[in-house]
Structure 1
Amino acid sequence: MKLALTAVFVKDMEKSRAFYSGILGLKEHMDSGVHLSYNCGLSLWQEDAALGTIHSEKVPAGGGSRFELCFESEDLKADFARVKSGGARVISPVAEQPWGQRVFRVYDPDGHIVEVAEPLTMTVKRFISAGLSVREIADKTTIPAEIVEQMAK
């Protein structure tokens, strides 16, 4: 497993983008509307969309954590089994997200959300193996087609 990014949940994407992109000058990598990633490993995620996805519309009292640590793993099943047997509180088992990536989420001992996901390159290659075109993959994942083509190599 490796740390892939830290996702900060934001109430107003445009205000946050103005701060991180404009004032701090961070270089944007990908923007899907409710999710904006930067080249440095930081990601902004529209809070209502994030919590709805993570908690399957059952947001805990108090709204849940305001950020998520995101790790990547090439063996989600084994990592999920290890984390679960270690006593972590499971938010969601391994499941495909609306954008196609497979992930699981748990709470750390302090209640922070920890996501473990397959690398997006694995998601793209899985879709290619399933016969999807670059355009179909781009539409499903919200990854720009030119980046899908790069990941497919």
Structure 2
Amino acid sequence: MNIVGSKVVFTIDDLPRSRHFFTTHLGFREMLDTPDLVWLNRDDAAVDIMLHQRDLERPPERIAQPVVAFAVTDLVKESARLSAEGAPVTTRLWRSPWGERLMRLTDPNGIVVELTEWIPPSGA
């Protein structure tokens, strides 16, 4: 597997306040800003941060799973390999309309590992 980037995902209650904290005090900038998700980045070696608005409608056990995300190359191939190895895939490979392939695995302690590959958006 070739990892080309990584990010940490935090599920939080107050998205605007966390966005303000990281951009004002720690020099992060917004790469993506939606009503329930903000992707923050810096030009140095800092890990990217995804801030995800907590969904209060979800059952409590699904609210705040720790997530580490890796941007990889050739995710279709990696998905096939991981499935063949019997890895605990919890979200099968899918393609978003905004230009991302994504799949998730969950380790035995509940840590979600998200694998993504950036691709041209649908219709591009």
Normalised TM-score (structure 2): 0.73
* Structure 1 stretches of at least 4 aligned residues deviating more than 6 Å after TM superposition: none
Q: Deviations over 1:96-148 (max 9, x none)?
A: 236452211111232211111121xx233x532xxxxxxxxxxxxxxxxxxxx
Structure-2 change in CA distance of 1:97 and 1:68 (3 Å): farther
Aligned to 1:36: 38
What is the root-mean-square deviation in Å for CA atoms of aligned residues?
2.7
Aligned to 1:123: 120
Q: Which has the larger share of strand?
A: 2
What's the secondary structure of 2:16's corresponding residue? helix
Aligned mate of 2:28, from 26, 29, 35? 26
For residues 26 and 79 of structure 1, what CA distance do their matches in structure 2 show? 31
Q: Deviations over 1:14-34 (max 9, x none)?
A: 222232223334222221222
Aligned to 2:45: none
Structure-2 change in CA distance of 1:60 and 1:93 (3 Å): farther
**Quick one: which amino acid aligns to residue 105 of structure 1?**
R
Structure 2 gaps, min length 5: 43-47
Structure-2 change in CA distance of 1:83 and 1:60 (3 Å): farther
Say whether 1:79 aligns with 2:78. yes
Structure 1 gaps, min length 5: 53-58, 129-153
For residues 25 and 81 of structure 1, what CA distance do their matches in structure 2 show? 38
**Quick one: which amino acid aligns to residue 21 of structure 1?**
T
**Quick one: which amino acid aligns to residue 23 of structure 1?**
H
For residues 74 and 83 of structure 2, what CA distance do their matches in structure 1 show? 14
Aligned to 1:136: none
Identity across aligned pairs (percent)? 27
| Number of corresponding residues | 117
Q: Which has the larger share of helix?
A: 1
